[in-house]
Amino acid sequence: MRGEDNFNNAIMMMVGVPLILAWLLFACFVIYSGVTDDTGSIQGNLDFFVALIAILGGPALLYIQKAEQAAKLDTLPARMSHRHMLADRDQLHRHQQEESE
């Protein structure tokens, strides 16, 4: 199982991070070029640029969602142990209240 984690992390670093950065850089470039373009060539070809952003954005968003999901799974044991600890404390508090009555 540990080898799979290392392989997934390596693929994420080699493919996912450059893809996400390229997506962000290209989107920022299109926005900046559209704002500063006096000739109107960017606005005239806006459908083309939006299509390119969408093509890069699809796989980039998959990598981002996978990273978020992995982060949630990593924190799951800590959250569950915290919930169990709170439930134990609540139960102990209820028993103490019942004994004092």
In this predicted structure, what is the pLDDT of residue 3? Answer: 58
Residues in the chain where the model's pLDDT stays below 50 = 1
Structure tokens at 84: 């169990």
Would you say 49 and 30 are in contact if contact means Cβ atoms under 8 Å apart? yes
Written as one letter, the residue type at 16 is G
Q: What is the pLDDT of residue 1?
A: 46
Q: Give the Å distances, CA to CA, from 12 to 1, 7, 33, 66, 77.
A: 17, 9, 30, 10, 23
- The pTM for the full model equals 0.55
pLDDT at position 89 is 92
